[in-house]
Structures are given as C-alpha cells and as structure tokens.
Amino acid sequence: MKIIYQQIISFVTLLTITLVITSVSFIQSTRRLVYSNTWTQLESYADALQENGWNRIGNVLQPNRTFILEMQNLLISQDVHFVIYNSENLPIFPTNAGAISSISGSTWNQLLNGKTIRVSKTPKKTVPTERQHIDQTAIYKPYFYNNKLLCVIAVTSSVQGVQKNIQNIESNLLLAIVISSAVAVVIIYLLSNLQSRRINRMRRATKEISAGNYDVVIPVTNTKDELNGLSHDFNNMSKNLKEANLEIERQEERRRQFMADAAHEMRTPLTTINGLLEGLAYDAIPEEEKGKSIDLMRKETSRLIKLVNENLDYERIRTNQIKLNKTTFDSTEALQNIAFQLEKKAAESGDTIKYLPEHESAKKIPIYADYDRFVEVVINIANNAIQFTKDGNITLKNERGFKETKVTISDTGIGMTEEQTKNIWDRYYKADPSRKNTKYGESGLGLSIVQQLVKLHGGEIEVQSKIDQGTTFTLLFPDGEEDNG
C-alpha cells in the first residue's frame, strides 16, 4: 500500500478514536450531571412536602391537605408530580391515587431501611401521569417520626427536555466529527502528497545514481525535517560516490599507464639480452666479443633489477608504506660527505662537486629529516647533475629559513626548457629520450621518488633551469615540533 494511504488511514483512525472517546465521555458526564441536578431538585420538593405537609394533632401527625394541594398545583405547572404513600405502602395522596399501585416489595424494603432511592426511568403505573410513554426521573424518600415510618414521598419529573438537549449535543458532536475528519483528511492528503513527491524524487535520484549518473542533486529546503536531512545526506553520498568513482578511474588510468611504461622500459634490456643470448646460442658472436657480450647482459640485467626495485620503492612511498625515522642532524656535515662521496664520479664527467662555502666547514645547520632518505634524495639529484653536466661545476648549499632548512643543488650543465621542468616529476620521464642510455640515469624514476620522499617529509621541492646554463634544485625541510617550541 502506498505511504500516502497508510498515513491517511492511520491519521483518520487516530482522529476518529479520539473524537469518539471524547464525545462519549462528554455525553455521559453531561447526562449524569443533568440527572443528578434533577434528583437534587426533586429531593428538595419531597423535603418541603414532608416539612410543611403535616399537622401535629396531639401526638399524631395528620396530612396538611391545603398545603399539599397548593404544592401539587405549583409543581404540575413544572411537569412535576408526587405521590405520598403511608406506612402501609398505600398511596394516600393524591386522592385519586387509586390507579396507582403500591411500591414493589424489594424497593419498599430498602425504603424501610431508610434508603432514598433514585430512578432515572420510572416503572409504569407507580406515578400519576398521563404521559407514561415519556421517560421519567424520580426519587423515593422515606420519612420517619419517632423511629417509625411516617410516609414515603415519590416525586417524579419528565426528562423529555433533558434528553432533547443531550440529543442536540450528540448531533452537534457528530457533525463536528464529520467536518473535522473531512478537513483532517484533506490536510493529511496534501501533506502526505508533498512527502510522497519528495520520496519519489529521491527514488528517481537513486535510480540515476545506480545508472552511473553521479551529478544528480536533490534540492534541499530550509525546513529541518527528516526528509530534508535525508536529501542532504543523499547529496553528500552522491558527491562522495562521484569522487570515489573518479579516484577509481584515476587509479585505473595510472595502473594502465604504469603497465605500458614498465613494459616499454623493460623491453629494451630484455631485447638486448635476448639478442645476445641468441648470438651466443648460435655461435654468431666471435670468441673475443663474448666477454663484452656477457658484460653487456650483466649491465642490462642490473638495469632491470634497478627498474623493478625503484618501481617497488616508488609504490611503497606513494602508498605511505614506509616509515620515516626523522631526527635533527647537521645538514652541513651530511652534504660535505655526499660531495666527497661523489667526487670521483663527477671527475669521470670532467666535473667538480663541492659543498659551499668550502672553508666554513664548522658552521652547523640543523635539519629535521630521515637521515638515510635525505642522503638518498640529495644523491639522486646530484647524480642527475653529474649525468647532465659535462666539464662543469656542481655545488651543494644549505641555509636556515623560517622554521625550515633550505638545501640547494646546482649544476652548470645542459639545463632544461620550461616545458621539460614541468614534467621531470612524472615517472619514466626523460627530457631527451636519446640520452637514456647514458652511464647513470636510465629509468626516469629518480625524481618521482625524490618528490614523493620530500612530500612525505612535509617539505617542498622546486627546480629552476635554463637550457645550456644549468639547473638548480631547491629543497625545503620543515623543522620538527620540538624545534619550533
């Protein structure tokens, strides 16, 4: 069943039950009140009759007929009638009470015990009235004189008017129930319809999302109801799904690119090795060349191993799988060591590598980093510098910045164009592919790893380069919390 109908049914049921319970209890209490008032009044008439309706003659009480008749005339005009029974249960007044029967045995016994009896519907023939078909209300009250029953006075009155009033109230209430139910149904219908429309809008949006359209947005209003909250959450969900989907696409693209690049990078050494192996197998390589061929194969195999290791390293850094062991150490000493370590290699390219200023070796400059990773980063950049500089100079420098340490590695080598400097961080990128078989750098992974490592330190890396003039890499390593404090 549709929600709209469920809501209408539940609201109408609730409304009807409430109205019926209220009306019934209202009518009941009104009825009780009306009867109780009537009885009190009838009882006061009976008391008046008893008080003034007897004359004392010696020690005996005799009915005061004059007063009783006056009273009768007075009360008839109000549609009130009375009968006086003597102690023998015989009606003695009115005088024509012959048609009236005595009070029934059980009622009489209760009266003998001094109990006043109230009835809301008088049994026929016990009261003198021509209109027996009309509901009557009556009281029977016994009066005693010297501990002996003197008489019982029954006073009765028609309840026609009372009932008419109650009927009026009943029909008004019924009308109120019908009108308010109708109004309530209309209001509930409108409200439910509004909610149904909002729910349907969400259903359509859900279908859109499952069909892959993550751009769908449900309008959110200012009302703070649950459906609005749901719409808000829904929009957040679709936004997150969109981002997740884009990330999946990006990952997929990266994976695809990686597979293509890795395959491409591996093909060259593998082809070389394969060619040499075939040459050896078919004895196509002269004896004196064999040693050289094996050397070449070893070089190509190391290159493959390096490629695989760097790839693994890159992925581990990128996915945060490595843990940095950061400490504060003297960057001057570290840079001096690196320069010393690479001196021989630089000389092979006719280069010099120096830490500057050369003679202020005592000046310590602290840096907060993982020592091994820091050395790895600088060596990587310095190796590039040696690789792309012929008969030039490579300089390493450091200085303190604001809550950071700055390290620069400059060369006077071949430099790069602006376009090339933008791409050097990409994996497998080589500014000039024809240079890829130079002595040192081959895979194009070095700077991607360097960049990831610097990022992992919370630092920054920048490059400035000019064709044929040289290149400068600038590294910024932020201080640790304790250094700042």
Q: Is residue 192 at the binding interface for Mg ion, with CB under 5 A as the rule?
A: no
Q: Shortest distance, CB of residue 444 to Mg ion, whole angstroms? A: 8
Q: Which does 128 bind (CB under 5 to 8 A by kind): ligand ATP, Mg ion, none?
A: none
Q: Is residue 139 at the binding interface for ligand ATP, with CB under 6 A as the rule?
A: no
Q: Which does 261 bind (CB under 5 to 8 A by kind): ligand ATP, Mg ion, none?
A: none
CA angle 274, 276, 279 (to 5 degrees): 110
Binding part of the chain for ligand ATP, among 69-77, 219-227, 332-340, 437-445 by CB under 6 A, reads: 437-445
Angle at which helices 226-281 and 287-318 cross, to 10°: 170
Q: Is residue 392 at the binding interface for ligand ATP, with CB under 6 A as the rule?
A: no
Q: Is residue 413 at the binding interface for Mg ion, with CB under 5 A as the rule?
A: no
Burial 314-352 (b: 16+ CB within 10 A, else e): beebbeeeeebebeebebbebbbebbeebeebbeebebe
Pick one of 49, 445, 453, 461: the residue that binds ligand ATP (CB under 6 A): 445
Nearer to Mg ion, 128 or 441 (CB): 441
- To which H or E segment does residue 330 belong? strand 326-330
Residue with tokens 């960057």: 331
Q: Shortest distance, CB of residue 319 to ligand ATP, whole angstroms? A: 19
> Largest Cα–Cα distance of the chain, in whole Å?
172
**How many whole angstroms separate alpha carbon 152 and alpha carbon 114?**
10
Q: Is residue 470 at the binding interface for Mg ion, with CB under 5 A as the rule?
A: no
Q: Shortest distance, CB of residue 456 to ligand ATP, whole angstroms? A: 17
Nearer to ligand ATP, 4 or 461 (CB): 461
Nearer to Mg ion, 137 or 384 (CB): 384
Structure-token pair, residue 158: 């028609």
Q: Which does 451 bind (CB under 5 to 8 A by kind): Mg ion, ligand ATP, none?
A: none
DSSP-derived 3-state class of residue 95: coil
Q: Is residue 238 at the binding interface for ligand ATP, with CB under 6 A as the rule?
A: no
Pick one of 414, 453, 461, 475: the residue that binds ligand ATP (CB under 6 A): 414
Phi first, then psi: give them for residue 136, nearest 5 degrees.
Answer: -120, 155
Burial 164-176 (b: 16+ CB within 10 A, else e): eebeeeeeebeee
Pick one of 415, 446, 459, 470: the residue that binds Mg ion (CB under 5 A): 446
Q: Is residue 153 at the binding interface for ligand ATP, with CB under 6 A as the rule?
A: no
404-411 and 393-401 beta bridge pairing: antiparallel
Contacts with ligand ATP by CB under 6 A lie at 384-385, 388, 411, 413-416, 424, 429-432, 441-447, 471
